[in-house]
Amino acid sequence: MPRSAADRKQQLVAEFRRSEILVAATKVFANKGFEAAKMAEIAKAAKLAKGTLYRYFDSKDAVYQATVGQALHQLAALTDEHVRRETDFTRKLAAFIAVRIAFWDEHQQLYRIILTINRQSQHRKRTFAWLQEAVLYLKGLYEEAAAAGEIPQQDFLSAAWAAMDAIRGVNERRAFSEHHQAADDTQFLMAFLLHGLRAKP
């Protein structure tokens, strides 16, 4: 087998194993909680030797960061895919909200873990960085809408942070209590945010 083909096969195996580790870690974190979870338990859930796990991740925190990072990458790709299908700002905003509600509905175990860990002061800076990417994406949508005359010029960065705070609030309520249908929550948030964005500054 040519060297490049062998390297590619090795890379695919590593990527597959890494993905399996992250799936296993999500289950362990959900069952045990982040603080109580052990690397040995993650290795066992992934059907790996503990030493093999350490070849991929040097700590439990590294596993957690990779798990969240992978989820956020998937969420960003899904968001962009659905937003790009729409032609006007109202539909783009609805798509942005709907994807973020549906995604975390499907990954509620991980979302609960994120909420629990991110309340700890040592993790807040990292949480801010994770949120900032989505905020800047939404700010870009607002700027495009203003350029098209769909909403007035305003402090779009503050508006984007306010929108993300509202979406996070809905998702947190959905994760820990009874909730409305996703479509109803999306419709309410869209109408609420549009009203604020279209109001004269």
pLDDT tens across 165-180, in order?
A: 999 999 988 888 866 7
Residue 119: other Cβ atoms inside 10 A: 10
Q: How many CA atoms lie within 13 A of 178 on its CB side?
A: 0
The shares of helix, strand and coil residues in the chain, as percent rounded to the nearest 5, are 80, 0, 20
CB 67 within 8 A of CB 26: yes
Helices (H), ranges, 33-155: 39-45, 50-56, 60-84, 89-106, 108-118, 124-147
Instruction: For residue 110, give the nearest of 18, 16, 31, 19 by alpha carbon.
Output: 31
Q: Whole-angstrom Cα distance, residue 169 to residue 191? A: 16
CA atoms of 165 and 172, how far apart (whole Å) = 10
Q: Which of 65-69, 96-100, 187-191 has the lowest mean pLDDT?
A: 65-69
pTM of the model: 0.84
User: Domains of the chain by range and CATH?
Assistant: 1-58 (1.10.10.60), 62-198 (1.10.357.10)
pLDDT, tens digit, 9 for 90 and up, residues 92-140 = 999 999 999 999 998 888 888 888 776 666 667 777 888 899 999 999 9
Contact 57, 17 (CB under 8 A): no
